[in-house]
Every structure is written in C-alpha cells, then in structure tokens.
C-alpha cells in the first residue's frame, strides 16, 4: 500500500525557515511514497463574494463561472483527500496563524464537502488521516494564553475531520534558538514512523 503525504508550508520565508527545516526532517523520517507539496508562500486568494455565492449554489445549478470560482478550493480539498498523512509547517505570526494558512483553511472548510451539519452538531468528513503540525515562533510559547495558533488549528482541523493531530513545537526561538531547535528535533525523533 502506498503512503501519500501532503506537505503544507505556511512560512513566508523559504530560506532559514525553522518550520520548513523541521518539516523536511519529518518527511525524511516518515519516508512517504508520494509527497504532494503546497507552498502557501505562493499566495492563495481569499474567499470573496463570487466564491461564497458559488459555494452556496447546489452543484447541479452552478454555472461555468461558479465552477471556476471553486476550482482551486476543489483542488486543495482533493489534495487532503488523497493524503494519508498531512504535515503542516505553521509559524506563529503575531500570536496566530499566517494569512496564507488561514486562506487555505477558508478554502478547504466547506459545508457538505469537508464537514456536514447534523442534529448532533457538525461532523468532519476528512477522517482517518494523521496530521502533524510543526509550530515555530520567536517568542510565543505554544499552548500559552497568548498562543492563538495551536488551539485554533487543533479545533479547525478537528472540525473538518482531522482529529489525529500531533504538534512538534519550536517555540521561543528568539530566546534560545539552538536549544529550541534541538528540543523540536527530539520531538521529531519520537514521532512514530
């Protein structure tokens, strides 16, 4: 059985990015057969009125323009559906997730496609996938009262069905970069292959 991994890089930095370096190490450890790469430093469009209108129009009633408005969203969702494992490199910018990662989430979280509403509440439809989130930050401690990234990611990923979420944290890089990276690499070493 082949193992497909979806790699999502949210760092605006391509060179010197700790989240990208740790993501590289995770992929090397997991040795997937196929990697789908989505680099969010290449900006995604934000949800707009045309996208919302198309999304809320039944599939059978959508015109060509509406299908085109959802084309990228459909591709992003298909990437998640194809993956057995998802690795997200997510730096913390100003206490939250980067705008590119938020745009990706907005394009992937679609009622009736990646989650559905039931009388018991919402149910995620992207189930049975392992998700590893690499968090890097200069001074924001992961899990602290001023970290608005990790809790948000755990919630929104669970909302669409990605409930098997592990975090590798390289937080407080501004205080002790060497020690922080060493601890994060130890976390990578402890991940199950």
Question: Which residues contribute to the annotated binding site?
Answer: 11, 17-19
* Rounded distance between C-alpha atoms, residue 99 and residue 10, angstroms: 9
User: Taking the alpha carbons of 4, 9, 15, 17 in that order, is the dihedral positive or negative?
Assistant: negative
Known binding-site residues for FMN equal: 11, 17-19
Q: Which DSSP string do the residues of 114-178 spell out, in sequence order?
A: TEEEETTEEEES--S-EEEEEEE-SSPPTTSTT--SHHHHHHHHHHTT--EEEEEEE--TTT-HH
Q: What are phi and psi of 34, to 5 degrees?
A: -145, 135
């Amino acid at each position: 059985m082949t193992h497909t991994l979806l790699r999502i890089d949210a760092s605006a930095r391509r060179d010197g990015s700790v989240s990208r370096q740790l993501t590289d190490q995770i992929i090397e450890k997991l040795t997937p057969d196929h990697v789908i790469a989505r680099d969010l430093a290449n900006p995604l469009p934000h949800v707009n009125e045309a996208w919302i209108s198309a999304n809320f129009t039944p599939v059978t009633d959508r015109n060509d323009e509406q299908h085109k408005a959802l084309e990228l969203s459909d591709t992003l969702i298909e990437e998640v559906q194809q993956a057995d494992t998802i690795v997200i490199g997510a730096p913390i910018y100003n206490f939250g997730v980067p705008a590119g990662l938020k745009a990706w989430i907005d394009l992937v979280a679609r009622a009736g496609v990646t989650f559905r509403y039931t009388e018991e509440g919402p149910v995620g439809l992207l189930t049975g996938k392992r998700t590893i989130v690499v968090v890097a930050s200069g001074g924001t401690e992961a899990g602290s009262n001023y970290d608005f990234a990790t809790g948000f990611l755990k919630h929104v990923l669970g909302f669409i069905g990605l409930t098997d979420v592990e975090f590798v944290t390289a937080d407080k890089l501004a205080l002790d970069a060497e020690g922080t990276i060493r601890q994060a690499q130890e976390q990578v070493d402890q991940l199950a292959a």
